Every structure is written in C-alpha cells, then in structure tokens.
Structure 1
Amino acid sequence: MPDTADHFLLICETCKGGPSVGSMRDMLANRLPKGFAIRAIDCMAGCDRPATVGFQANNKAQYLFGDIQTAQDIDALAQFAEQYRQSPDGWTNATDRPRPLLTKTLSRMPRIAQEAPS
C-alpha cells in the first residue's frame, strides 16, 4: 500500500458471495491509479448485494457498489478508479461510469465540503 495514498478502494471482508477480499486485491492491485490504496473493511451494509466495494477520498463524493461478481466487474472497478481519481469532486453520472457498474451502484454520498477556518 503506497505511503502517499489519498484515494481508497474499500472491499467488504464480511460479504458472503462473490470474490474474496484476497482475490479482488490480487486482481486490482496493479491496475489502480497512483495514489490508491486497497483497504479491507468490516461490513458496509451491502449484504443483500455481495460483494460490496466502495470508493473514498477526502473532499470527494463516496461510492458503494454491490453485486461485484465477475472479472468484467473487476475491470469496471479499475476503470472507475481512474475516472474517480481524475474527477475533482468525485462526482460522476451513472451513464458515464463503466457500463457493468450501471446497475450496481448502491449509493453515492456527496462530498463533505471543507470550510475555510474563520
């Protein structure tokens, strides 16, 4: 995991179904843009749609995807990581995301705006 990571791909380690954290880490580790780290996370409440994966960065929208099952889904996550990295606020439209993720978006949380000190 890079010391300078400022973007994170979160993989639920309690999901039952879909690829394991270890296999997803292996499939994604060398395909993520510079500055990304992979973190295994306890339950992200996507239990009905395993496996769940999230994207997180400071001052950016956050995403949770579910039903990650296939190599095509993993490819789409790697593509989305690049898109997410390049977006200044993390905001993407569903139709702009890689097609396999179109119906797999469980949530998009808006960024928390950092207020300037008074």
Structure 2
Amino acid sequence: MTNTSDHSILICATCKGPGAARELRAALAERVSNRFALRAVDCMAGCERPIAVGLQGPGKTQYLFGEIEAQADIEAIACFARQFLASGTGWSTASERPERLYDKTLARLPAYKPEVKT
C-alpha cells in the first residue's frame, strides 16, 4: 500500500498521556482522509488546555487547537480536516470553522513562504 499522506494531524501525547492520544487518533482514523498522517507527538505547549491538536499541510496555514475531547470534538476536528484539505491555502476565519472549534483555537501560523532576496 502506498503512503499518500501529505498532510498531518498532530495529537499531543504529553499532558493527558499516550492513552488519550491513541483514543483520539483511533477516532480520527475512521473519519479523515488517508492524506492525513495521524501522529502522536510530544508537547506542543498547549498544556493549559489539553489535548492539543495541530493540522499541517504543505504550503498551508497551520492550526493548533486545545481542549479537544475525543467524544465531544471528534466530528468538529474531522469536519475541519476536510475543509483544510480542500483549501489551497489552509486559511480560514473562526466563523468558517466548525462551531465547537471557535474558542479552541490556540494558534494559527501563516504558511511558510521562503524569502525572496533581491
């Protein structure tokens, strides 16, 4: 089977432990495209609001959400993952994201663009 992952969903396995990260990863695996690699990672500095979940894609804005609960937020994360995948830039405003994520956004990082030297 060919690995088609060109995007990532990062799930913090530090604050609530690897078991909570595994539960969230398993729930997402059933709901998101295989273009997403689901990765349990070390601390993403969302310690005040665990579980932190990040989304990355090539040339796209990156997002970090906090206080993600496997049961309550899984559909919102899966919905946002579909939106993120479909977007060429990854950029979205809070009102475009699923309502459960409105107040859970910890960071939005602009896409990396190499500096052009003149």
The 4+ residue runs of structure 1 with deviation greater than 4 A are none
> When the two structures are superposed, what TM-score results if normalisation uses the length of structure 2?
0.89
Amino acid paired to 1:111: A
Asked if 2 retains the 8 angstrom alpha-carbon contact of 1:2 and 1:36, the reply is no
SS of equivalent residue, structure 1 residue 20: helix
- Structure 2 unmatched ranges of 5 or more: none
Name the residue aligned to 1:78. 78
Name the residue aligned to 2:42. 42
Amino acid paired to 2:99: R
- What are the residue-to-residue correspondences of 1:3-14 with 2, within 5 Å? 3-14=3-14
- In the TM superposition, residue 114 of structure 1 has moved relative to its aligned partner by 4.6
TM-superposition CA deviations, 1:31-75 (whole Å, max 9, x none)? 102411101110000000000000011100000000112523111
Asked if 1 retains the 8 angstrom alpha-carbon contact of 2:27 and 2:70, the reply is no
- In the TM superposition, residue 115 of structure 1 has moved relative to its aligned partner by 6.3
> When the two structures are superposed, what TM-score results if normalisation uses the length of structure 1?
0.89
Q: Matched residues in 2 for 1:89 and 1:25: separation?
A: 24
- In the TM superposition, residue 16 of structure 1 has moved relative to its aligned partner by 2.5
Give the aligned CA root-mean-square deviation in angstroms: 2.1
Structure 2 residue 106 is matched with structure 1 residue 106: yes
Q: Matched residues in 2 for 1:89 and 1:113: separation?
A: 12
Asked if 2 retains the 8 angstrom alpha-carbon contact of 1:2 and 1:37, the reply is no
More helix by share: 2
Identity %: 49
Structure 2 CA distance for partners of 1:74 and 1:105, relative to 1, 3 Å: same
Asked if 2 retains the 8 angstrom alpha-carbon contact of 1:59 and 1:114, the reply is no
- Structure 1 unmatched ranges of 5 or more: none
Q: Matched residues in 1 for 2:90 and 2:81: separation?
A: 10
